[in-house]
């Protein structure tokens, strides 16, 4: 069940989301589109963090996003993309109009049955669906500790890519891969990133301050981050590929 309050928490966070959230490795886009296609859709595109990886891989790159603040940022930085207001449950595109659909960091917010039906509708027969998520490296103790602060109900579990499955209605599972990479990030930007996650956005001011202080203590106490203004953050990008039946 999608938490509507958490799902809508990003509606006013476009600029900060784009500034602080991590991008994605090009290998994730290469998995979905190993060869150029005519049209690809980035669904729930946000500010275009993954959309930009699709440029040059399709004649048409289309982005669908319901949050106006996110869409404004995407349109500003990627004017060559066809950016459209819409949702996963009601995609404003014709039947069989795209070769592939990408969903990066968003599928867990969708109504699975309705979204899969719509994605299947806009895909050409045999078209590909790629579900992509960034998540923390379980071997990075300080980042996992920060995750436990931000998402105490989840703990060490991966609550996002867990919504992928071998069986999606209307699709055949093809492949799952975990892409490991590192991001050089400042302490300030790392803290700013946490301010853009849903649990921070829906918390009251006291709750946000308490969470942020707890994450700062994590950084102050870990030998890999204590006293440093910049550090390497290990990342894992999970990619799940499906083919339209």
Question: Is residue 199 situated within a structural domain?
Answer: no
pLDDT of residue 5: 46
Tally of structural domains, the chain:
1
Question: Is residue 69 situated within a structural domain?
Answer: yes
Residue 178 to residue 13: CA distance in whole angstroms: 28
Question: Is residue 8 situated within a structural domain?
Answer: yes
The CATH number of whichever domain residue 110 belongs to comes to 3.40.50.150
* 176's tokens: 């799952």
Question: Is residue 145 situated within a structural domain?
Answer: no
56 Rama class: left (phi>0) / alpha (psi -120 to 50) / beta = left
Give percent of the chain above pLDDT 90: 78
Residue 77 to residue 196: CA distance in whole angstroms: 19
Provide the residue range defining the domain that includes 62: 4-136+157-183+234-244
Packed helices 187-194 and 205-221: angle between N→C axes, nearest 10 degrees: 140
pLDDT digits (tens, 9 = 90+) for 167-217: 899 999 999 999 999 999 999 999 999 988 877 888 888 989 999 999 999
Question: Is residue 205 situated within a structural domain?
Answer: no
pLDDT classification of 1: cutoffs 50, 70, 90: very low
Question: Is residue 148 situated within a structural domain?
Answer: no
Residue among 102, 105, 134 at smallest CA distance from 37: 102
pLDDT classification of 160: cutoffs 50, 70, 90: low
pLDDT digits (tens, 9 = 90+) for 130-152: 999 999 999 999 999 999 998 88
- Look up the pTM and report it: 0.87
């Amino acid at each position: 069940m999608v938490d509507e309050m958490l799902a809508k928490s990003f509606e006013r966070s476009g600029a900060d989301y784009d500034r602080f959230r991590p991008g994605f490795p090009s290998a994730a886009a290469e998995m979905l589109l190993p060869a150029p296609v005519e049209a690809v859709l980035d669904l729930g595109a946000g500010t275009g963090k993954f959309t930009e990886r699709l440029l040059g891989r399709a004649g048409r790159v289309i982005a669908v996003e319901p949050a106006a603040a996110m869409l404004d940022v995407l349109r500003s930085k990627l004017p060559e993309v066809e950016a459209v207001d819409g949702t996963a449950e009601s995609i404003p595109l014709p039947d069989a109009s795209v070769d592939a659909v990408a969903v990066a960091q968003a599928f867990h917010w969708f109504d699975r049955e309705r979204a899969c039906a719509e994605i299947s509708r806009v895909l050409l027969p045999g078209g590909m669906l790629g579900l992509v998520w960034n998540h923390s490296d379980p071997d990075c103790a300080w980042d996992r500790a920060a995750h436990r602060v931000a998402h105490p109900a989840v703990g060490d579990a991966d609550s996002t890519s867990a919504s992928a499955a071998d069986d999606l209605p209307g699709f055949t599972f093809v492949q799952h891969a975990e892409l490991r990479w590192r991001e050089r990030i400042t302490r300030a930007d790392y803290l700013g990133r946490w301010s853009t996650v849903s649990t921070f956005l829906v918390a009251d001011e006291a709750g946000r301050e308490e969470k942020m202080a707890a994450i700062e203590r994590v950084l102050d106490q870990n030998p890999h981050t204590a006293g440093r203004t910049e550090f390497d953050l290990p990342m894992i990008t999970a990619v799940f590929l499906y083919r339209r039946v």
